[in-house]
Chains A and B, each alone.
Chain A
Amino acid sequence: MTEYKGVMVYAEVTDGKLAAITVELLGCGRKLADELGEELMATLIGRTVSNLAPEAITFGADKVYTVEDQLLEDYQTDAYLPVMARLTGEVMPQIILLGQTEIGRDLAPRLAFRLETAATLDCVDLAIDMESKWLRQTKPVYGGNARAVFLTESRPQVATVRAKAMSPPERNTARKGEVIPFTAGLEPAAIRTRVLEKVPQAVAEIRLEDAEVIVSGGRGIGNAEGFQQLAKLAGLFKGAVGASRPAIDNGWVPDVSQVGLTGKIVTPELYIAIALSGASQHMAGCSGSKNIIAINKSPEANIFREARFGVVGDWEKVLPAFTDKVRELLTE
């Protein structure tokens, strides 16, 4: 019987480059592979992706499988799943890591069910259990109110990893690795779904995930006009505007601005949380920020348990004065 061996990273591509989460996965996967004394593999799937294989090697991969096919232009479960199932069936990695993205969230559980194993999604810590050699998978549960450590006692062990939970490794251009093309072998008829259209939503110049400063508002902002004041402050810092879920549900800001468990995960230098209570599901998306600043009229608000500095008060009074002073200090 062949053995399950090695760690495989599903390498996601955004804007023609390795996604930030992929680099983080390669760093984490490298450590796990070293602990096991096994190889780190990466899998690139798409229409044209093999040009990125050397990049995956510089970040730690020993082997890169590339699967290119016209039918793999867009991510679709029916196209990517059989490819991953066949590849992992042949290569037999004992651990498969994906990002907790719209792709990983979709692909990881389906792959685990198809391979008759199990997955753990949204992990923030992964380690090899020294005795049993199983993967200890730590993930936030109950909306961030607790953390759970799971073991999957069947192989391959599938996990997705939360964005920014792992630090990205240094690039090492001296690293050597092998690139192995793998045929997709897809039947067009097997792809039951069809992507009709991709609709990007209006976003400001700076993506939330990349912003050094985020000004985030909640239900207490009250309307879309209120958010324009937040945008003014964000503009001074060349930052971005984020929001809690009620602000999205009320249509005050676009969906893509949501921060939290089911929104974006952000880790800016400065996260200014205004008129949001700091529910655990919101904090799940921003608690990695270097400095959280809170403005809230209720001293009992949970956000004050996580903030470094705060003002208890009505944001409509506090914020304009704060913004004016910031502007003044910045022009000094």
Chain B
Amino acid sequence: MNLIVCVKQVIDPEAPPASFQIDATSNKVIPPSGVSAVISPFDENAVEAALRIKDARGGKITVISLGINLLREVVKKPLSMGADELILLEDEAFADGDSHSTAYALAMAIKKIGDYDLIFCGRQASDWDAGQIGSGIAEILGLPGVTLAKKVDSTDGQAKVERITADGYEVVEVPLPAVITVSNELGEPRYPTIKGIMAAKKIEPVIWKPADIGVASSRVGAAGRRTKLLKLFPPVQESKCDLISGESPEEAGVNLALKLREAKLF
């Protein structure tokens, strides 16, 4: 089985909301100091999905990441979890893309890899929460896809996917090759092992520029955008919390009930 996983490097989405700042003139997020970059969390679930298939059926996992200033210790994490190869689409021309130009570049890179059975993406990247790349890649490559997977297994040229729905899940069968987007319900991604970390150190990422994947710079990154960002701004924070206290936590609980009754909230 040849498995491909797309991972994106993002600002740690679990950083405290209070540390989040926007530069209004450039419409960009100011990376908070002391907050690290990470692989977008659903992409780690996607790596885990691929690893489980590799564990069960054997195969090779190729990881692709597109961006600039990609920190090696961040983008190598999937390798230390057990993936085999890393391809970086790292070039200024790829920067500041939208879903369209990014999906196009990733699809062309996947086409160049050529030999693949399953392509995994996260359900959405934790920065722009766009939720489109997996569908875009499938559309560009003409592949079937299943989104919002919580379980993936594959045999005999098919994948069986549990797809999350509003009131549970559905089991979908899809022929390979196919694109699957993965959600956190898949379960915790594994931790890198010492052995994995050592192995990852020895793997040199392959770097591809637009010309390497046969695309014009004008089709990728900012130049290839179809959407325009007009404005980025913080949401308004209105509420002021009335803290209810008491002599003991139990009394505070009683006072809270009295307060809610007084405010006619029940």
Contact = CB atoms under 8 A, between A and B. Distances in A.
B244 to A, nearest CB: 5
B156 interface: no
A9 interface: no
B72 interface: no
Contacts of A102: 147-148, 163-166
Interface string A67-98: 00000001011100000000000000000000
Nearest to A305: B237
A174 interface: no
A306 interface: yes
B253 A192 contact: no
A78 B142 CA distance: 11
Given A143-B13, A198-B165, A255 B150 contact: yes
A319 to B, nearest CB: 6
A48 interface: no
Nearest to A81: B139
Contact of B242 (A109, A262, A299, A308): A308
A262 B124 contact: yes
Nearest to A261: B129
B17 A117 contact: no
B241 A195 contact: no
Interface stretch (A25-33, A56-64, A178-186, A321-329): A321-329
B168 A309 contact: no
A168 interface: no
Q: How large is the interface on A (under 10, 10 to 19, 20 to 34, 35 or more residues)?
A: 35 or more
A256 B18 contact: no
Given A256-B167, A262-B183, A302 B230 contact: no
Given A141-B128, A281-B13, A321-B254, A310 B266 contact: no
Interface in A263-309: 264, 269-270, 279-281, 291-295, 299, 302, 304-309
Contacts of A140: 129, 235
A115 to B, nearest CB: 10
Given A196-B173, A308-B239, A321-B251, A237 B130 contact: no
A309 B164 CA distance: 34
Interface residues of B, number: 87
Identify whether the interface residues of B are mostly helix, strand, loop, or mixed. Answer: mixed
B126 interface: yes
Given A102-B164, A122-B129, A141-B232, A321 B170 contact: no
Interface stretch (A37-45, A146-154, A220-228): A146-154
Interface in B210-266: 226-235, 237, 239, 241-245, 248-261, 263, 265-266
Given A77-B144, A192-B144, A302-B18, A153 B228 contact: yes
Nearest to B234: A146
B29 A146 contact: yes
B14 interface: yes
B20 A308 contact: no
B207 interface: no
A151 B230 CA distance: 7
A166 interface: no
Interface in B112-128: 123-124, 126-128
Nearest to B16: A302
Contacts of A194: 172-174
Contacts of A198: 165, 168-171
Contacts of B256: 293, 295, 309, 311, 318, 322
Contact of B138 (A14, A110, A153, A310): A110
Contacts of B145: 77, 110
Given A195-B172, A310-B244, A255 B135 contact: no
Interface in B176-203: 183-185, 187-188
A96 B89 CA distance: 33
A306 B239 CA distance: 5
Given A199-B169, A293-B260, A109 B132 contact: yes
The 6 residue pairs across chains A and B that have the minimum distance between CB atoms: A321-B253, A325-B257, A322-B253, A317-B249, A113-B139, A109-B135
15 contacts: A109-B132, A119-B99, A141-B232, A144-B235, A148-B232, A196-B173, A198-B169, A201-B168, A270-B260, A305-B241, A308-B241, A309-B241, A311-B252, A313-B253, A318-B252
